[in-house]
Amino acid sequence: MKVLIVFTHPSKNSFNHALLENIISGLKQAGHEIRIKDLYKENFNPILTGDDLTMLHTNNIPEKIDKEQQQLLWADSLIFIYPLWWFDRPAMLKGWFDVVLTNGLAFEYSSEGVKGLLKHKKALVIITAGGSKQYFIDNDALQLIHRPVTDGTLSFCGIKDVSHQIYYDISNLSDTERQDILNETKTAGLEF
């Protein structure tokens, strides 16, 4: 498979970056072709401007959007890796969705409602959270963590097989627990 990984974390010394390295290792061992979009490293501009929107409404795709969309369409499957910030994805990733998943490419409206247009085989969303799972349960927030991306974006855009993995309480885990997660992530790449 051709797998596009969209990675969103500003530090290459982060646990998220270690997750990225491990899933890449597993994917390569499994024989997949991989491309990585490291949004912070690329200094991705997450702003969809008024001019961009005007051009899109006239079926004239701005060059910066077309470049991103071609990378998206190259892939058979997608993986997203990011930390949970304010019960959601980082703004940089939200902006990537705004810029790339446009009407006519990722979805369309008709008299029957919205139709997702993406044909990717599957998507995996990997999220790290600083809070404990119990914290999110106590605050009735478990679905807030993944649904904006899994259901509200990827499924909405037509991807049928969307799964997620959330790793909680990252800052309080032991080295052994962190290594177990890294091993699990490598296995996810092998089985993708």
How many C-beta atoms surround the C-beta of residue 128 within 10 A?
21
Collapse the DSSP code of 82 into the 3-class scheme (helix H, G, I; strand E, B; otherwise coil) and give the result. strand
With residues binned 3-state (H G I as helix, E B as strand, rest as coil), the percentages for the chain, rounded to 5, are: 45, 20, 35
Tell me if 89 sits within 8 A of 149, measured CB to CB. yes
- pLDDT score, position 190: 86
pLDDT at 13 over 90: yes
Chain position carrying tokens 């052994």: 176
The pLDDT tens digits of the residues spanning 170-180 come to 999 999 999 99
- pLDDT score, position 189: 86
Q: What does the block give as tokens for 108?
A: 């369309």
pLDDT bucket at 143, cuts 50 / 70 / 90: confident
The pLDDT tens digits of the residues spanning 76-92 come to 999 999 999 999 999 99
Mean pLDDT of the chain: 95
Collapse the DSSP code of 161 into the 3-class scheme (helix H, G, I; strand E, B; otherwise coil) and give the result. coil
Residues 26 and 130: their CA atoms lie apart, in Å, by 25
pLDDT at 164 over 90: yes
pLDDT at 142 over 90: no
Residues 30 and 36: their CA atoms lie apart, in Å, by 16
The CATH number that applies at residue 172 is 3.40.50.360
Chain position carrying tokens 């071609």: 70
The pLDDT tens digits of the residues spanning 95-141 come to 999 999 999 999 999 899 999 999 999 999 999 999 999 999 999 99
- pLDDT score, position 48: 94
Domain around 110: 2-191
* pTM beyond cutoff 0.85: yes
pLDDT at 62 over 90: yes
Tell me if 118 sits within 8 A of 158, measured CB to CB. yes
For residues 139-148, average pLDDT: 90
- pLDDT score, position 50: 95
The pLDDT tens digits of the residues spanning 18-59 come to 999 999 999 999 999 999 999 999 999 999 999 999 999 998
Chain position carrying tokens 């401007």: 49
Instruction: Return the DSSP state at 14.
Output: S
Q: How many domains does the chain have?
A: 1
